[in-house]
Amino acid sequence: MSGELPAEAYVAALAGFERMTSSRLRGLLAGREPAAAFAIAIGSGPAPPPLSAVFQRFPDLAAAWRRDGAERAPERCWEVCLAAGIDVVMAGDERFPPQLAADPACPPALFVRGDLSILDARRVGIVGTRNSTQQGAATAVRFGHEFAAAGVVVVSGLARGIDGAAHRGALGADAAAPAAVVGNGLDVPYPRRNAELWERVADRGVIVSEWPPGTRPDAFRFPLRNRILAALCELLVVVESRERGGSLITAREAAIRGVDVFAVPGSVRSRASAGTNELLRDGAAPALDPTDVLIALGLDHRRANRSSFDPRPMPRGDDAAVLDACRSEPLTIDALADRFDLSLGGVAMVVARLERDGWLIDSGGWFEVVDRWRGAG
């Protein structure tokens, strides 16, 4: 490569140094050009006092960084980024997301595939367990699809389970582009089963990481990436989470930043819903339907323009659960009582409400779903 190297080349090199943390990189870059920061890191210039203290505490770190300086030549690191179609956007660049710029744990730089400007639109995060149930994945697809159809960018982590389902739903709407925050380098999709999904998200939207190409998906990186995901959201929806799921870390990071957290309720018997139910117990808002979140964003457009408006009140609680059960197949009151461990009287009241509101119709004792509003006539 001929000519003067861009500043981003030095940042790409430094970001991959052994035990390079966000705070250490931020300190190296503070008030100096990236080329000078690189020289300091490899021992070619005097280390500022904070870094000197780090070297004194970890004597092997200075030697490791000198080795990294020889192995991670900025020219080579920049060539790798260019070949993979990866941009490096430093904090302070006008393209850098303003939501992150003011964050107390702002990453010094982002590695980017796609168009960062899509983050200028309205944004909702959808996260959840990797070990999702079929119902949870279907819920994530539905929420992702309806948010995107309403012009809302779905932000998630491209992981298997709920994250991937949310992105598939968003892509299926063929409307607002999706955004992803990942915990490894952008040159190798992780998990591999989502490789095609990575490409679709990068082509239509944007994928970001704070780590350079070649960075492995080590377990410790995912809790760190969750702070970025949380900071990029206006609202966060947790679809399914176990007691100690990574999505609970994202929810905590969101709460620290004043981002409202919604949770989709689930069965108290399902481990996949243990975390979301705990969030609800602790004050998260229930997300029983995508409209709940869109209303919170001020984007309830059901009565807008000339589109057909469904005026039926959205079912809640047991009503929503019974309606979902009847979507699979027509059911009797006895069958519903057995399925939900409710009394016959309780089920009869639920069914009566759903009939009154136009969601169910009685066909000889079997209750079927009315998916489209038919009006009073």
pLDDT tens, residue by residue, 191-242: 999 999 999 999 999 999 999 999 999 999 999 999 999 999 999 999 999 9
Confidence at residue 376, expressed as pLDDT on a 0 to 100 scale: 38
Confidence at residue 7, expressed as pLDDT on a 0 to 100 scale: 96
Structure token digits, residue 358 = 């136009």
How much is the pTM?
0.78
Confidence at residue 372, expressed as pLDDT on a 0 to 100 scale: 62
Confidence at residue 331, expressed as pLDDT on a 0 to 100 scale: 93
pLDDT tens-digit series, residues 32-85: 999 999 999 998 878 888 788 888 888 899 999 999 999 999 999 999 999 999
Confidence at residue 323, expressed as pLDDT on a 0 to 100 scale: 92
In whole angstroms, what is the distance from residue 291 CA to residue 302 CA? 9
Q: What percent of the chain stands above pLDDT 90?
A: 70
Structure token digits, residue 135 = 């119902």
Confidence at residue 1, expressed as pLDDT on a 0 to 100 scale: 45
Which of 117, 106, 110 has the alpha carbon at shortest distance from 90? 110
Exposure string over 133-167, b if 16+ CB within 10 A, otherwise e: bebbbebbbbbbbbbbbbebbbbbbbbbbbbbbbb
In whole angstroms, what is the distance from residue 49 CA to residue 95 CA? 31
- With 60 as the cut, is the pLDDT of residue 375 above it? no
